[in-house]
Chains A and B, each alone.
Chain A
Amino acid sequence: MELKIDHLNKQFKDKRAVHNVSLSLTEGVWGLLGANGAGKTTLMRMIADILTPDSGTISYNGTNIRKMGGAYRNLFGFLPQDFGYSRDFTVKDYLEYVAALKDVPAGETGKKIDYLLDVLTLSDVKRKKIAKLSGGMKRRVGIAQAMLNDPKILVMDEPTAGLDPGERVRFRNFISEFSHDRIVLISTHIVSDIEYIAARNIIMKAGEVVDVGTTDELVRKIERTVWNCTVPEKDLIRCEEKLRMINQRSEDNRRVSIRYLSETPELEGSVPAEPRLEDLYLWYFPQGNTEL
């Protein structure tokens, strides 16, 4: 199973949203990382075939998805960044409606909905209006609708936004099980959500794919660029100005333990730290540097 993206381009007026993106997505969970405006959502919408690329093609197992039409959409599940719904829908009505659109057999719809609501801990709110649910619950309804047709290709844009830590853990476990023999593409700012489950990660910057690889392959590229050090509290402001700090933690004796990115150790006593995906993200996208 292969979803091949070939030289994909999309421009919005003077903004180059996606530029010459080529990827080959195979079975497993793929993490899509990038700052705001990097082109992740535009890329996902083109994969979902709800946005036409200016040039380039997307093909599934060698067939252009535009030619496949309904057959491609039958294999597809999508959760957009902003989960929209009709205000008068209850959770059950909404899922029944989407199931009909996805051609889930009427006899199986009820069981399927009950299963997903159970897994996503939404059974208690089955008959409630979506508009009255909390943000996290709405997000889970969005996840449920994407999975109604057991999609072979599942694309989710920020699926964990609004979920509490427990819900995120359950989501990660669910996706890990679900991703067997399927292509799952997840975009998120919460790097830890995909760090543990993504077989591969795609890093986008300014509309281009700047790196692709497993978490180990990617973080290896920033080996000896992540450092730990303990500094006196009074020096913290100077350190923040001078260094690309990742985090800080207060220690005893008015000292602070800091973690920073640098090609060489900047402070005396710095020791190399084991890099993580979050470090890589911050390496590519320094804090506050969003791409608009």
Chain B
Amino acid sequence: MRLFCLEWKRMIKSRRTFVLLVVALLMSVVMAFLPVSFESINRSEENGSVTELNGLSAIWFKKGCYQKTAGEITPQKMADVLRTYQYYVGEYGSVDDIPLDIYIEKVMALRPVIKGLSEIYADPKTGIGTDLMEIDPDEVEQHFYEQCASHLEDVMDLEQKEHPAAGQYAVKKYAGADRPFRLYSGISRDAFDYTTLYILLLAVLCTAIAAPVFANEYQNGSDAILRCTKYGRTRLAVTRILTVCSIFIVVFLTGMAVHLSILNAAFGRECLDTSFQMLFSIINLPDMNLRQLQIVLVSAGLLSMLSGTGCTLFLSAKCKEPLTVLLVSMVILFLPIFACSALGGSSWISTILPSSGIGLQNNFLYQLCNFNFLHLGGQSFWTPYVILVSAAVEMPVFLVLAVISYCRHQTV
């Protein structure tokens, strides 16, 4: 414990580490502020003028409008909302032609409810969505949730035709999603995008901190002294790894807590009761609401970041040049992003690397939103699980390899 405390002190007193950690915490505020600042709406005033609202005032104004449709999304409610929508659009010809004051008062709150309808009534052969005006509200009232499941089967037939196991898994998983869905509009998808972006930023900063942990001492020769001491081998390596990981866990959780607290305070905590399917795609598989999604994103992000840190520490214990370690670690961190862009989200390389859950198109949120499966023999595996299992397995493996590499290092 004494060594652990001294190692903490040593790490935190390093100016470079301190600056990077402060940046990590500051960015939690910035990355929460940005999606709030993107919120905007035009409000019609009594005198006929239009006022543009931005940021928090836009969010609060929208929340007032969305109150009307908040709650459980029963087929009955969905059909009623569709009827109302069709009435107003029919009255004015198109959504764009509805006067602003009427749109805001009568139509705006309907749209988050029915946005998934055109998707689930899409052409099963082409996947092209149906115009909301062409959907029969009575049909929605009778078969809304059955149609959701049916559309999922169509999508799986289109995307995973050669892998029926994937389709079966998806249908079974979707059947387990809690119904009726709930909707408390207000929070934007941008907020979740920025959360995943913040996780990527934290991973980059932590990689920069972890890269020189062992390599720096090889380079400046101080390890020759430390490894000659009684506890200078396994215990030092283990303590150092525990210190790095514990600092990162504290910073990650603190940063995420600040970031999410700001977002939730701005958008409203009641929004977090919204079902995953009502914010993203209505046929998405996860059985969770947005509050649970935030917890899952933080947990998966932390696991992926620690797995990536394990890989960086292993490289640091193996190489003599901190710069080489940093560059190789960054390549490994960004490789899933490039692999996802080049090969798509359903490639092993973009999912089994230590930090595969962190990135842009490949991030864990997007994997939850997609129907990416990896196939091995007759088995199909949904990519979010592959990412989690890979990270969970690789983290201890890399950390043990880091300890072994440090202990076996030769001071030449």
Q: What is the interface of chain A, defined by CB distance below 8 A to chain B? A: 12, 45, 48-52, 69-70, 73-74, 76-80, 82-89, 93, 96-98, 100-103, 106, 142, 145-146, 149
Among B9, B15, B217, B410, point to the contact of A84 (Cβ < 8 A).
Answer: B217
Among A51, A70, A87, A145, point to the contact of B233 (Cβ < 8 A).
Answer: A70
Tell me if B342 is interfacial: C-beta within 8 Å of chain A: no
A50 vs B227: C-alpha distance in the bound complex, in angstroms? 7
Q: What is the interface of chain B, defined by CB distance below 8 A to chain A? A: 2-3, 6, 9-10, 13-15, 216-217, 220-233, 236, 410-412
A70 vs B407: C-alpha distance in the bound complex, in angstroms? 12
A88 vs B11: C-alpha distance in the bound complex, in angstroms? 9
**A73-B224 in contact (CB<8A):** no
Known A51-B411, A88-B15, A100-B6: A83·B228 in contact at CB below 8 Å: no
**A50-B228 in contact (CB<8A):** yes
**A101-B230 in contact (CB<8A):** yes
Among B14, B220, B228, point to the contact of A48 (Cβ < 8 A).
Answer: B228
CB-nearest residue of chain B to A146: B225
Rounded to whole Å, the gap between the CB of B231 and the closest CB of chain A is 5
Rounded to whole Å, the gap between the CB of A149 and the closest CB of chain B is 8
A79 to chain B: which residues have CB within 8 Å?
225
A84 to chain B: which residues have CB within 8 Å?
217, 220-225
A97 to chain B: which residues have CB within 8 Å?
6, 10
**Which of B226, B228, B230 has the most chain A CB atoms inside 10 A of its CB?**
B228
Among A50, A86, A149, point to the contact of B224 (Cβ < 8 A).
Answer: A50
**B13-A74 in contact (CB<8A):** no
A51 to chain B: which residues have CB within 8 Å?
410-412
A74 to chain B: which residues have CB within 8 Å?
230
CB-nearest residue of chain A to B16: A88
A83 vs B223: C-alpha distance in the bound complex, in angstroms? 10
What are 7 A-to-B residue pairs whose CB atoms are below 8 Å? A48-B228, A51-B410, A70-B231, A73-B230, A80-B225, A84-B217, A86-B14
A284 vs B115: C-alpha distance in the bound complex, in angstroms? 91
A93 vs B227: C-alpha distance in the bound complex, in angstroms? 18
Rounded to whole Å, the gap between the CB of B233 and the closest CB of chain A is 7
A79 vs B226: C-alpha distance in the bound complex, in angstroms? 10
A105 vs B220: C-alpha distance in the bound complex, in angstroms? 28
Among B15, B229, B411, point to the contact of A45 (Cβ < 8 A).
Answer: B411
A101 vs B6: C-alpha distance in the bound complex, in angstroms? 10
Known A80-B224, A86-B217, A93-B13: A12·B412 in contact at CB below 8 Å: yes
Known A51-B410, A88-B14: A45·B231 in contact at CB below 8 Å: no
**A82-B221 in contact (CB<8A):** yes
CB-nearest residue of chain B to A106: B2
Known A100-B2, A101-B3: A49·B222 in contact at CB below 8 Å: no
B411 to chain A: which residues have CB within 8 Å?
45, 50-51, 80
